[in-house]
Amino acid sequence: MQIREHAAVSPDKPAIAMYPSGTVVTFGELEARANQLAHYFRQAGLVEGDAVAILMENNEHFHTAMWAARRSGLYYVPINTHLTAAEAAYIIDNSNAKGIVGSAKLADTLAKLGDELPGGLPPVLLVAGGHLDGWQSYPDCVADQPVTPIDDEIEGDLLQYSSGTTGRPKGIKRALPHVHPSESPGLMSALVSFWMHPDAVYLSPAPLYHTAPSVWSMQTQAGGITTVVMEKFDAAGALDAIAKHRVTHGQFVPVMFTRMLKLPDDVRTSYDVSSLERVMHAAAPCPVEIKKQMIDWWGPIVDEYYASSEAHGSTLIGAEDWLTHPGSVGRPMAGNLHILDEDGNELPPGQAGEIYFEGGVDFEYLNDPDKTAKSRDTRGWKTVGDIGYVDEEGYLYLTDRRHHMIISGGVNIYPQEAENLLVTHPKVMDAAVFGIPDEEMGQSVKGVVQTVDPADATEDFARELLDWLRDRLAHYKCPRSIAFEAQLPRTDTGKLYKQGLIAKYS
């Protein structure tokens, strides 16, 4: 997993192109910057197995920090920029980070970290693009460092924290391989190498603090491929970036598809997306109708994989295959797939249960042995709590997350089905369905909708939408009532923070 060979052969080729600012970092510059920062880490006393937190928006320095940590044998810990200082401090403390690489745009958060960290700030503190008392200004602080590699390069890894939709974020930690970076292929290397080519241009539209954007963009750079990084996603901006940079490949999440499809037709069709060769989506289930609309628009180039930050296993399905198996996330790409009931028994095709993978990468939830133990069954098979089933051909279909299930009158209801249907309504931008307490039934089904036009958020439309839904879905799966929110609380990868909604409407 190296950018060095590309820096030697094509030093002036863009490794990173920021959108919309236009800032470019070439492979030669990225290699030199990563080496300088790696030297700085070593001189500061950081050694293999230490952790460095990264608290930056999408900018030109993010990849430098990741590459420098990776080739220094460090765990790099990207932190969600939307977190408060207290929330970010929890991750810094929990990961035992010995350093922080932050940005001036987040100076207010950085300045408050010292008061929130039980042991005080770590020894290495860098702030990119500005000044902050007690912090070293980056890149000025590494200007005198060599641009050549450190003598003791060794492979590090991503230490990713979960989105924390059901509690405190959990660190997902894998054992370091103790090999030189050139001997370690890195996560997703096989998928990227077959899916893209050296002349590809890759669009990364999501925040780099999430697992897939960080892993995929680093892997594309390792393949000598230019990565176009959106500073912030917006639907029209993504289409403009594709047109301007002649993007050939990209990775999206379903909510991005929905937002692009909901653009006015004259806006959506005004951008030339003919350069696209393949796109990938993951992170959250994609409603069948939304994906069909994307294939109608972009052609049969919309591929999909199912995986997790834990990297415990994965599946893959190409667009052509999906058209004959709509709704599937594919067949196993890594690890053997098992569907188990609550007693650990394997279920036959067509029956939904918890998804386990045999094999795959081993991991632990940092400082949480109970959660780690609960992710394994007695045979060592691993799960992240997703529910699904396989068909007779071994294709996997996701039903929902285990903790999202509603039990109403003793009947199990998975809200994803209603959510997927609601977002296909032309007036609906986003939808959340969840259980709220009910004295008679235990729980009842509640729906909350974000409309495309705020003027449609009326009681009349709520009744119309319920009737529309009941014509298409079994009544017991449908919300009993629908409320409206101006914006649903989603992560940048499309996961819903339902706990706040449940508290509000319970």
Given a cut of 90, is residue 361 above it in pLDDT?
no
The continuous run of DSSP H or E covering 25 comes out as strand 24-26
Q: Which amino acid is at 496?
A: L
Give the number of other Cβ atoms within 10 Å of residue 443's Cβ: 18
- What region, left, alpha or beta, does residue 409 occupy, with left being phi > 0 and alpha being psi -120 to 50 degrees? left
In sequence order, the β-bridge partners of residue 279 are 250, 302
What's the pLDDT tens digit per position in 242-270? 999 999 999 998 889 999 999 999 999 99
pLDDT at res. 133: 96
Query: What's the token pair of residue 445?
Result: 């089904």
User: Residues 282, 286, 291, 293: is their CA dihedral positive or negative?
Assistant: negative
Integer Cα distance of 420 and 397 in angstroms: 14
Give me the percent of the chain exceeding a pLDDT of 70: 96
Integer Cα distance of 12 and 20 in angstroms: 20
The reply to whether 289-298+310-404 and 407-505 are identical in fold is no
Once rounded to an integer, what is the mean pLDDT over residues 454-466? Answer: 96
- The mean pLDDT of the chain is 92
What's the pLDDT tens digit per position in 290-326? 999 999 999 999 999 998 888 889 999 999 999 999 9
Give the number of other Cβ atoms within 10 Å of residue 336's Cβ: 12
Judged on CB neighbours under 10 Å (0-12, 13-18, 19+), 176 is: middle
Integer Cα distance of 111 and 392 in angstroms: 56
Q: Which CATH code for domain 27-184? A: 3.40.50.980
What's the pLDDT tens digit per position in 23-71? 999 999 999 999 999 999 999 999 999 999 999 999 999 999 999 999 9
Between helix 27-43 and helix 62-70 the angle, nearest 10°, is 60
pLDDT at res. 162: 80
Query: What's the token pair of residue 97?
Result: 């980070």
| Residues 226 and 248: beta-carbon distance below 8 Å | no
In angstroms and rounded to an integer, the radius of gyration of the C-alpha atoms of the chain is 23
Q: Confidence band (pLDDT; 50, 70, 90) for 82?
A: confident
pLDDT at res. 404: 79
Q: Which amino acid is at 19?
A: Y
pLDDT at res. 190: 61
Q: Tokens 């008679």 correspond to what residue?
A: 440
Long-range contacts of 424-429 (CB under 8 A, 24+ apart): 424/287, 424/289, 424/290, 425/465, 425/468, 426/452, 427/451, 427/452, 427/453, 427/456, 427/461, 427/465, 428/452, 428/465, 429/258, 429/259, 429/262
What's the pLDDT tens digit per position in 326-337? 999 999 987 799
Q: Confidence band (pLDDT; 50, 70, 90) for 287?
A: confident
Fold type of domain 289-298+310-404:
Luciferase; domain 3 (2.30.38)
pLDDT at res. 113: 97
Once rounded to an integer, what is the mean pLDDT over residues 434-449? Answer: 87
Integer Cα distance of 358 and 319 in angstroms: 26
3-state secondary structure of 91: helix
**The CA-based dihedral angle spanning residues 336, 342, 343, 346, taken in that order and rounded to the nearest 10 degrees:** -30
Q: Where are the domains of the chain?
A: 27-184, 289-298+310-404, 407-505
Given a cut of 90, is residue 431 above it in pLDDT?
yes
What's the pLDDT tens digit per position in 188-226? 566 676 789 989 999 999 999 999 899 999 999 999 999
Integer Cα distance of 28 and 222 in angstroms: 13
Q: Which CATH code for domain 407-505? A: 3.30.300.30
- What region, left, alpha or beta, does residue 72 occupy, with left being phi > 0 and alpha being psi -120 to 50 degrees? alpha
Once rounded to an integer, what is the mean pLDDT over residues 80-102? Answer: 94
